[in-house]
Amino acid sequence: MSLQLTPRQRLALAALIAFHILIIIASNYLVQLPITLFGWHTTWGAFSFPFIFLATDLTVRLLGKGPARQVIARVMVPALLASYVVSVLFQEGAFRGWAALGQFNDFVLRISLASFLAYVCGQLLDIQVFDRLRRLPQWWIAPSAAITLGNLLDTFVFFSVAFWHSSNPFMAEHWVEIASVDYGVKLAISLMLFVPLYGMLLNLLLRLLAGRAVLPAAS
């Protein structure tokens, strides 16, 4: 690693990389499970993926833009491969057996590639927006703006690549509606839950890394 980090920071970075991969795998599985929320179609993935933006924003705040980009670079390929394997084994929420890995699944591969593109685009935008705003005195502006724009790009890149003219008739017909509701759910969850959680975790991590806290007067 070219950046000069303390042992604790390197440990935190490794944990963030593992966390990103775990959330991507879980979200690629959960996005195959549609639900109806207040009469609108969405998926369970809307409730898991915002964790990625929370982790990225904390990385930028604590370690800087460079380490955050390193997380993305190190996560991309392992997450793509792991997502494909897990999604093949548990396609549409049911275990298909180990023999399923021996058969090429273009539907799942398309979801994995869509997740790859959406992750890279959404996270890079999130990092750029957060880094531009993180020195504002109001600590909540940077994560709120970054999550709002990052989630928007991520959601519509993912659903358009994964489900436009998909072999899954339901998803092919409803992907625009599902993407819109998915984004609305992610945004509501992020602003009401993850932004306050970001503030709490930031204080906790700062105490662990440097023995200090910065909120509500952000650094």
- Calculate mean pLDDT across residues 71-89: 82
Global pTM reads 0.78
Give the pLDDT of residue 218: 42
Give the pLDDT of residue 160: 92
Q: 219 falls in which pLDDT band (50, 70, 90)? A: very low
Give the pLDDT of residue 83: 78
Q: Are 171 and 111 in contact (CB under 8 A)?
A: no
> How far is the C-alpha of 139 from the C-alpha of 77, rounded, in Å?
32
pLDDT per position as a tens digit, 109-164: 888 888 888 888 999 999 999 999 988 988 889 999 999 999 999 999 989 998 88
Of 38-47, 51-60, 107-116, 196-205, least confident by mean pLDDT is 38-47
Give the pLDDT of residue 1: 43
Q: Are 136 and 218 in contact (CB under 8 A)?
A: yes
SS3 string, the chain, reads: CCCCCCHHHHHHHHHHHHHHHHHHHHHHHHCCCEEEECCEEEEHHHHCCHHHHHHHHHHHHHHCHHHHHHHHHHHHHHHHHHHHHHHHHCHHHCCCCHHHHHCCCHHHHHHHHHHHHHHHHHHHHHHHHHHHHCCCCECCHHHHHHHHHHHHHHHHHHHHHHHCCCCCHHHHHHHHHHHHHHHHHHHHHHHHHHHHHHHHHHHHHHHHHHCCCCCCECC
Q: 23 falls in which pLDDT band (50, 70, 90)? A: confident
- Calculate mean pLDDT across residues 75-96: 79
pLDDT per position as a tens digit, 10-22: 777 788 888 888 8
Please report, as a single letter, which amino acid is at residue 68: A
- Torsion region of 212: left, alpha or beta (phi above 0 gives left; psi -120 to 50 gives alpha): beta
Instruction: Give residues with Cβ within 8 angstroms of 112, minimum separation 6.
Output: 28, 80, 83, 84, 87
